[in-house]
Structure 1
Amino acid sequence: MLHLDDGFDLRPAEVADAPLVAEWMAQPHIVPWWESDWPVQRWAEALEEQAAGEHSLPCLVALEGRSFAYIELYRVRHDRLAEYYAWREHDWGLHVAIGDVAQVGQGIGRRLLRALADAVLRADPRCDRVVAEPDVRNTPSLRAFAAAGFEPAGELQLPEKTALLMVRTRTVEAS
């Protein structure tokens, strides 16, 4: 378990977490953006596959001992996102889904995004940027990224969406 700033705990997701992740991904506030409302077995396979590879690290985030979010940390150079912008060798990317509906709209997303970016930048001294690519229509997500110190760096036309590349650099002051 990794303790992040602002009281968050991060741990790698396990196959046993698949029922919880599947439940979260079926939430109406997540389905339009992730399109991953899969059965538990498919999530179990996805978590196992990610854990075995070098591309993406699936994690659960807890606050005060209660898991509330699913995230994926990934090296952009190993991701298809690298085809869509001028990435740097040590860029890290992240995907975030706050699954616990009680935590949505409470300002926790921006706190989590800031804590995650701070932790990645601390953990990898060669990394100068943490990026994300939320859908341009996902206004709450865009606001949360901006409030966490991520700057818009242009629209990307991905196969499934038009995304806004959001970039958090090392120059942003940690709070």
Structure 2
Amino acid sequence: MRCDVAPLLHLDSGFDLRPAASSDAPTIAWWMAQPHIQKWWEQDWSVERWAQAIEEQLAGEHSIPCLTAVDGEDFAYAELYRVRHDRLAEYYAWQEHDWGIHVAIGDAERLGRGLGRRLLRALAEALLRADPLSQRVVAEPDVTNLPSIRAFEAAGFVIHAELELPEKKALLMVHTRTVEA
């Protein structure tokens, strides 16, 4: 895994994070087919396509696909990525060490319980702890995805701009380093 970060990050708030493997493709494919995720991610792919995507991510320098667990059960998919390697870099004045995150809570029974905001904060703070040169973590939720926007705001992300991406109008949301991070 070559994405400028240790393969395992220590997350606070009781979460476990591990790199996804192709053997996780059935779980991820099932999650991505759920209406609350499919609407925003549009990656309702086959198990085979997810297995290939995970292998490609793990072999590249762009992003790290991960599974997140709480109480010993996987419940979310996350992608951690360096903005400088992502097309998002074309849309805002990025800094060399910016991290980006994408998160999908696959287990619908865990929605609406505050786990999303806790996970987003834990991921952002873990990335900043693991990378002393990084000053911020960014996300770009769709402007109409109000539950996601609220979760990012509750996790300490601040809206910096509206971005016109090819597939959506998005908000650039930024979590900056604090003394605690």
Please state if 1:102 is matched with 2:114: no
Q: TM-score of the superposition, structure 1-length normalised?
A: 0.97
CA apart distance, 1:32: 1.0
CA apart distance, 1:113: 0.3
Q: TM-score of the superposition, structure 2-length normalised?
A: 0.94
Gap change, CA 1:172 and 1:103, over 3 Å in 2: farther
> Residue 73 of structure 2 corresponds to which residue in structure 1?
66
> Residue 23 of structure 2 corresponds to which residue in structure 1?
16
> Residue 129 of structure 1 corresponds to which residue in structure 2?
136
CA contact (8 A) 2:9 2:130 kept: no
> Residue 41 of structure 1 corresponds to which residue in structure 2?
48
Partner SS for 1:95 = strand
Separation in 2 of the partners of 1:172 and 1:13? 31
Separation in 2 of the partners of 1:113 and 1:27? 20
CA contact (8 A) 1:55 1:78 kept: yes
CA apart distance, 1:173: 5.2
Separation in 2 of the partners of 1:123 and 1:27? 32
Separation in 1 of the partners of 2:40 and 2:173? 16
> Residue 3 of structure 2 corresponds to which residue in structure 1?
none
Aligned ranges 1:75-154 → 2 under 5 Å:
75-154=82-161
CA contact (8 A) 2:15 2:68 kept: yes
4+ residue stretches of structure 1 with deviation over 4 A? none
1:101-143 deviation line (CA, Å, top 9, x unaligned):
1111111000000000010000000000000000000000000
Supply the RMSD in Å over aligned alpha carbons.
1.0
Please state if 1:28 is matched with 2:35: yes
CA contact (8 A) 1:60 1:67 kept: yes
Separation in 1 of the partners of 2:159 and 2:135? 16
Partner SS for 1:6 = coil
Consecutive unaligned residues of structure 1, counting only runs of 5 or more, are none
CA contact (8 A) 1:149 1:172 kept: no
CA apart distance, 1:61: 0.1
Please state if 1:160 is matched with 2:167: yes
Identity %: 73
Partner SS for 1:160 = coil
Letter paired with 1:126: L
Partner SS for 1:143 = helix
Consecutive unaligned residues of structure 2, counting only runs of 5 or more, are 1-7
